[in-house]
Each structure stands twice: as C-alpha cells, then as structure tokens.
Amino acid sequence: MAWQSVTLPATADEAERLSDALMEAGALSVSIEDAAAGTVAEAPIFGEPGMPTDALWRDNKVLALFAHDADVQAILTEAARASLFELPPYQIEPVPEQDWVRLTQAEFDPIRISERLWIIPSWHQPHDDQAINLRLDPGLAFGTGSHPTTRLCLQWLDQHIQGNERVLDYGCGSGILAIAALKFGAAQAWGVDIDPQAVSTARDNARDNAVQADFYLPDAPAQPAADIVVANILTNPLIAMAPLLAQACRVGGRIVLSGILVEQVAKVVDVYSAWFDIALWRDEEGWACLTGVKRA
C-alpha cells in the first residue's frame, strides 16, 4: 500500500491546533518538527528543573500522512477551517510501499568508533570478537554512534578513561555513553534524561550489554559528584545547564561537552570558563567536542 504526505509550515500557535484538526479530519498520522532543524537557527526544546520549557518551536513543519485513496485536498480544507488556519500553497507527495524494516536495517551497519570500539546493531555479527562490541539498535532515543557528536564523545572516553572513574552522562538518550564508559573500565556510570522513553531505552540497552548502569529522570535524588561529566546535547541547553553540570562534577574532575557547532565554541567556552579550564578537544563535520578540568 502506498501513502500520500503533505508538509505545511506553521507557527507555534497554529501547529498543535492544525495537528489535532488533521487527525480529526482523517490523517493517518501527524508530526511536528522544527523548521530550522539542522541549521544554526535550530531552537532545541528542553525542560530541565527550574528552566523554562517551550511547547513548540517558533517556526514549525507539520507533516501529515494520508491513505493512498484519501481526498487530501478535502481533508486539508476541513482541518484548516476547524483550526482557523490559512492554508499555504502545498504539494502532495507520494510515499511508496517499501519493506520498512529491511530498509531501516540496511541503513545501520556496524560502526567503527575507534581501534577497539564497534557499535553493532542486533541484526549484525561482530567483525572483531576481540574488540569492545557494544550492541545497540536505532530507536526512539538519540545515540547510535552514527552522529559525529556521539562519536566524538565515545572517542574521548576511549582515550581518557583510565579505570575506576565515576561517570555521569547528562542527556543520556540511548545510554550509549554511560554504557561505553563501563566497557572502558569506569567503576560506575549513570545517566539522566528528561524523556521517560529515553530512560527506559537506556536501561534496556544496559541490560543487553550486560553492564550495571543506572538511568534516571532529572527529579531523582542527586548522586555524588562525578569524576567525568559528559553531556551531548545542544548549545542552548548546555549553556542554560552550565551551573547544574558544574555542580555535578567534582573539583579536579573533567567535563566533556558535545552537540556544539564549531562556530558556537567560543560562546560555550566563555560560559563554562567560570568553573572549568576548558577548550576545544576535537571537531568533526562541523561539530565540536569541548573538554575541561574543574577548578577549586
């Protein structure tokens, strides 16, 4: 069965109303995305304790999926009327039938992160049985090793964990960084994420990799200060959470920050310099990884 899809620009005030109206009028599914995703203008939504949470981005894309025989024009007209939305010019795009499971699996091959670390989806066999083979499938939580920001953090951990460290992965997503830290020899690793689905996924991934990592929502009881704090998020939330992450790191401990565009490095360094001697460690494909040591 083929489908039809339409993408509509919408403001924050319009997007939710339009999405609800589209579902009521007969859309099979509707999603809302940041219209500026992947650019410097990207506006991440976050909701850490004591920090404001935006419901939606300022500029959004509403993506709607319809059955192959649906009267898309009639559905859009009805949804626009019900949500007081003025329809912009749009195009209806066909979505062909495909074996989505096979297609998705084909896009995720084993990823070599370093000389000794591989990320292996469950449908593949390891290339090197002597390597550290971290089992991880793509899913609802960010962090599979395919994005440069994740690779940079993994490579830093590979090179700098000496053994017996306590590691905090803030914004843990899939839990990949905490799990890898334990594989490299850390004594303890735990992760925090605002998304309950991410926390659940991270716990499952830790179990599948036979490591004892703990994962929590931000309102869980505070843990002792970590030897290493790693946060692979985005620039704006990293800046907003600087005091929180600084407090989570012990004096003399190290912080690792990623999810930062190269042109944003100076802004992040300026903020974190209040607590850390911090600088660029490495960059890849326009993304930067910073590291620093916390001062007394």
Residue 222 lies in a domain: yes
Q: What CATH number is given to the structural domain containing 283?
A: 3.40.50.150
C-alpha dihedral sign at 19, 86, 39, 229: negative
| Strand order, beta sheet including 276-284 | 214-216, 188-192, 166-170, 226-232, 249-261, 287-294, 276-284
Residues belonging to the chain: 296
Q: How confident is the model at residue 226 (pLDDT cuts 50, 70, 90)?
A: very high
| Same domain for 290 and 162 | yes
- For residues 47 and 173, state if they share a domain: no
CB atoms within 10 A of CB 17: 15
**CA-based torsion, 111, 36, 175, 153: positive or negative:** positive
Q: How many domains in the chain?
A: 2
Q: What is the DSSP letter of 88?
A: P
Residue 125 falls within a domain, yes or no? Answer: no
Give the tokens for residue 155: 């490579």
Contact criterion met (CB below 8 Å) for 86 and 13: no
User: What is the reported pLDDT for 95?
Assistant: 85
User: Can you tell me the distance from the alpha carbon of 278 to that of 284, in angstroms, rounded to the nearest whole number?
Assistant: 18
Q: Which residue range is the domain that position 12 belongs to?
A: 3-97
Summarize pLDDT for 182-196 with one digit per residue, the tens: 999 999 999 999 999
pLDDT of residue 106: 52
Closest CA relative to residue 253, chosen from 294, 223, 296: 294
Q: How far apart are CA 113 and CA 117, in angstroms?
A: 5
Residue 118 falls within a domain, yes or no?
no
Tell me what pLDDT residue 52 has: 44
Q: Which tens digit of pLDDT belongs to each residue from 92-131?
A: 999 876 554 454 555 567 888 888 888 888 877 777 778 8
First to last CA, the chain: 63
Phi, psi dihedral angles at 110 (to 5 degrees): -55, 140
8-21 confidence digits (pLDDT tens): 999 988 999 999 99
Give me the CATH number covering residue 78: 3.30.70.120
pLDDT in tens, 54-96: 556 888 999 999 999 999 999 999 999 999 999 999 989 998 7
Query: Which pTM does this prediction carry?
Result: 0.68
91 and 166 fall within a common domain: no
